[in-house]
Amino acid sequence: MRLWILLLALVLASASLATPDDAALGSPASWIDRMETSLWPTASVQADVSLESSDEVGRGLDTEMRLVRSQRGTDVRTQIRVIEPPAATGTVYEVSSTEGKPLKRWVYISTVRRLRNLVGTRRTDAFMGSDFTYEDLDIAAPRESEWKSIDRIEEGGRSLVRVTSAPYSYYERVETVIDPATSLPVRVSYYDRSGSLFKRETFGEIQTVEGHPMPTRIEMDDVETGAKSVLRLQKIRLGQPIDEKVFSESPIQSRLGGR
């Protein structure tokens, strides 16, 4: 009887360690969903995007792109089309997702006129020689990962929420820090299988677009080499009609036969 009383006391004591605020956080996955909704606040999002990269040798070639995202029900399509420099003009990357089905990622590389299905580890290949992978261009957290835990952290006088993934791909874990005031990401840290931090993504220069706060500068830092790439979003348009031909007549769909 004394043993049972002792066990009960331990359970009650451990339960008391969880504050009401911690209990009210909800599930890790729910915060990732909230973050994605804040990043993409309307059914259609369009923007001009510039990509700048640099490493220990110097600055690389800047890339200018057009981003289009369209959502109809649970069907989401995102396209990034390169318009500069001339040598890479016409390169197109597309992601499509439907609830309950695997993501589809394709890239058409104009320089070699080659269409690639980005499955498996191919999704973590570098985009245009930058520190962003194709998967990173989803901008939201890695969608195939499983979100394991959640906690509160204090940083710069702010109370933030940190969501940690289970081991995923070649990551030991991915930590996504979210500002609960906006549900926008602040930082995403990627740890390799040895548990060492090897790249860090930060979101900044928040601007209000049609009543929605949105990050307009996304920086990816390679912690090991010091290389850095920056995405800058400009002329963000929310909720405006998107011509279906943007997707149906892309070089990807023309080669897939409209599948």
Q: What is the pLDDT of residues 196-221, one digit of tens each?
A: 999 999 999 999 999 999 999 999 99
Q: What is the pLDDT of residues 129-147, one digit of tens each?
A: 899 999 998 876 666 678 9
Among residues 63, 135, 136, 71, the alpha carbon closest in space to that of 105 is found at 135
Structure-block tokens of residue 14: 């451990």
Could you tell me the end-to-end alpha-carbon distance of the chain, in angstroms, rounded to an integer? 67
Structure-block tokens of residue 231: 């995405």
What is the 3-class SS of the chain, one letter each residue? Answer: CHHHHHHHHHHHHHHHCCCHHHHCCCCHHHHHHHHHHHHCCCCEEEEEEEEEEECCCCECCCEEEEEEEEEECCEEEEEEEEEECHHHCCCEEEEEECCCCCCEEEEEECCCCEEEECCHHHHHCECCCCCCECHHHHCCCCCCCCEEEEEEEEECCEEEEEEEECCECCEEEEEEEEECCCCEEEEEEEEECCCCEEEEEEEEEEEEECCEEEEEEEEEEECCCCCEEEEEEEEEEECCCCCCHHHHCCHHHHHHCCC
Checking if the pLDDT of 64 tops 90, the result is: yes
Instruction: Write the CB contacts of 169 (distance below 8 Å, at least 6 apart in sequence).
Output: 121, 124, 142, 144, 145
Q: What is the pLDDT of residues 9-48, one digit of tens each?
A: 443 444 444 444 555 788 999 999 999 999 999 999 999 9
pLDDT for res 13? 42
Of the chain, the percentage scoring pLDDT greater than 90 comes to 71
pLDDT for res 22? 55
User: pLDDT band at residue 163, thresholds of 50, 70 and 90?
Assistant: very high
Q: Domains in the chain, ordered, with CATH?
A: 27-256 (2.50.20.10)
Taking residues 164-178, report their average pLDDT.
Answer: 93
**Cβ burial, residue 124 (10 Å; 0-12/13-18/19+):** middle
